[in-house]
Structure 1
Amino acid sequence: MKKKLALVTVHEIYGVNDHMHQVTQHFTSSHIDVFCPNLLQSQHAFHYSDEEKAYHFFMNHIGFDNGKKQIEEFITHLSSSYTHIGLIGFSVGATISWLCSNNPKIDFIIGCYGSRIRDYIHIKPTCATLLIFPEKEASFQYPLSFNRCSNKKILY
C-alpha cells in the first residue's frame, strides 16, 4: 500500500546544509515523509561565506538541466511508494522545482526565491504552484513578464 505524501526539498547552491536539515525536520510528520536529495552528490555542503565558490560549483558541475534530471529520477523512484508528491525548492532549488512543474507525477511545487525562473517563464505548470519572490532585493528584480501570464494568479 502506498504512503500518502512525499515532500522533496530541493536545496540552494550550498547543498544539504543545516538550513535544509531544519526544513526537513520542520515538515516531517506521521503523514509526510520528507527527502532532500543531494544534487552535489558527494560534495560537502558549502558555507554561506563561500557563496561565489558554491555558485560556480553548482553552475559548472550540476546546472539546472542536470538538477532537473536528478530530481525527476528521484520523483520516479518515489512514485511507486507515494500517492502524492510535492516539491519545495529554495533559490536554484526553486528554479529546478519550476522546471519539474509539468511532470505528471508531481502534485504541487513551492518555489522560494527562484530568481532564475525568469529564464524559464515559457514553462506552463500542470500542478498547483506557489512561487515566493522577495519584495525588494538588490540582486533580483521581479520578472515583469510574469504579469503577462493571463492564466496565473499573481500574489504580491
Structure 2
Amino acid sequence: MLIHSQIVEFKGDGTSTYGYLAHPKGDSGFPAVVVLQEWWGIDTHIQQVTEHLAQEGFAALAPDLYRGQVATTTEEAQELSQKLDRVQALQEIEQAIHYLETSPLVQAKQVGMIGFGMGASLAAMLASTGQKLGALVLFYGGRGDPENSSHEEAIQAMNAPFLGIYGGEDQAIPVDYVRWLEEKLTTLGKEHRIIVYPEASRSFLNPGQEAYRPDDASDAWSQTVTWLQDHLAQA
C-alpha cells in the first residue's frame, strides 16, 4: 500500500506540539492510532511503526514528546525520560488524539493507542483517567503496584479493549505482575488479551536493539494489527 508521511503541528492550551504522521495515500476514511514512543524518542523504530500502521490502512500519529531530541545511549534515554514533564506529555497526547479525531483523513469516532516502554506507561496513565479510546496496545510498559489500591482503581477506569504484550525475560515487568494484571482484568470484566513471549526481554520489537527477536516481533506485530483492525476498522 502506498503511504504518505509528514511532520504535522497541533496546538492546544497555548502549547504547540509536532508529530510524525503517516497514512495511506488517499483523502479520507481511515481508522486512527496514536503511537507513543519508547524512551529513545521519535527514532527510526517509532517512525517505522507509524509507517507500518499506515501500510495496514491506519492514519497513525506519533507526538514528539521530546521535541526533536533522540537518545542514542541508555544514559541519554534515561535522562530525557526523567526530565519529561508527565502532566504536559499527557496533555500533548490528548492534543494528538484530538488532531486525529478532527482530521478529514479519519473516519472513526474513537482513536486507538499503542505505546512502547515509557510510551506504554503514558498510555496506561491516560487510559486510567477514563479517556475514551477505541483500542489500547501496550508493549512492555504500564506496570503498577498491586499493593496500591489506586492501581486497581486505575485499571477499573480503563474502558478500551486492552492488548498487553510482554517479554518473559523483561526484568522491569516480572511475569508475576503480568499474570496479576491478567487476573485483575478478568475479574473486572475488561475486554483484554495478554501475550507473553517467554524468551523475549524489553524492546524485543525494536530492530535497533540487541533485545530484538525477529520471530517474536513478527508474531507480536501480527497480533497488534489484528487487534487494532478488529476494534477500530468498524468504529
Select 2:163's aligned residue among 130, 136, 147: 130
Cα distance in 2, alignment partners of residues 154 and 5 from structure 1: 21
Report the Cα offset of residue 39 of structure 1: 0.5
Select 1:97's aligned residue among 115, 120, 123: 123
Select 1:62's aligned residue among 73, 85, 89: 85
Report the Cα offset of residue 85 of structure 1: 1.3
**Partner residue, 2:102:** 80
How high is the TM-score relative to the length of structure 2?
0.56
Cα distance in 1, alignment partners of residues 136 and 41 from structure 2: 19
Cα distance in 2, alignment partners of residues 76 and 15 from structure 1: 21
Moved more, 127-136 or 137-146: 137-146
1:1-156 mapped onto 2 (5 Å cutoff): 3-29=29-55, 31-42=57-68, 44-47=69-72, 50-63=73-86, 65-81=87-103, 82=106, 83=108, 84-101=110-127, 102-104=130-132, 106-114=133-141, 116-119=142-145, 120-123=151-154, 124=156, 125-142=158-175, 143=177, 145-146=180-181, 147-149=183-185, 150-151=187-188, 152=190, 153=192, 155-156=194-195
Are 2:111 and 2:135, in contact at CA under 8 Å, matched by a contact in 1? yes
Q: Secondary structure at the match of 2:120?
A: helix
Aligned residue pair count: 150
RCO higher in 1 or 2 (8 Å CA, sep ≥ 6)? 1
Q: Assess, with a 3 A threshold, how the Cα gap between structure 1 residues 155 and 30 changes in structure 2: closer, same or farther.
A: closer
How high is the TM-score relative to the length of structure 1?
0.81
RMSD: 2.4
Report the Cα offset of residue 110 of structure 1: 0.3
Report the Cα offset of residue 76 of structure 1: 1.7
What residue identity is the alignment partner of 2:153? Answer: H
Cα distance in 1, alignment partners of residues 172 and 134 from structure 2: 31
Q: Secondary structure at the match of 1:75?
A: helix
Identity of aligned residues (%): 20
What residue identity is the alignment partner of 2:66? Answer: L
Cα distance in 2, alignment partners of residues 121 and 11 from structure 1: 25
What residue ranges of structure 1 are gaps of 5+ in the alignment?
Answer: none
Are 2:163 and 2:193, in contact at CA under 8 Å, matched by a contact in 1? no
Q: Deviations over 1:128-154 (max 9, x none)?
A: 111112112234313264234412456
Cα distance in 1, alignment partners of residues 159 and 70 from structure 2: 32
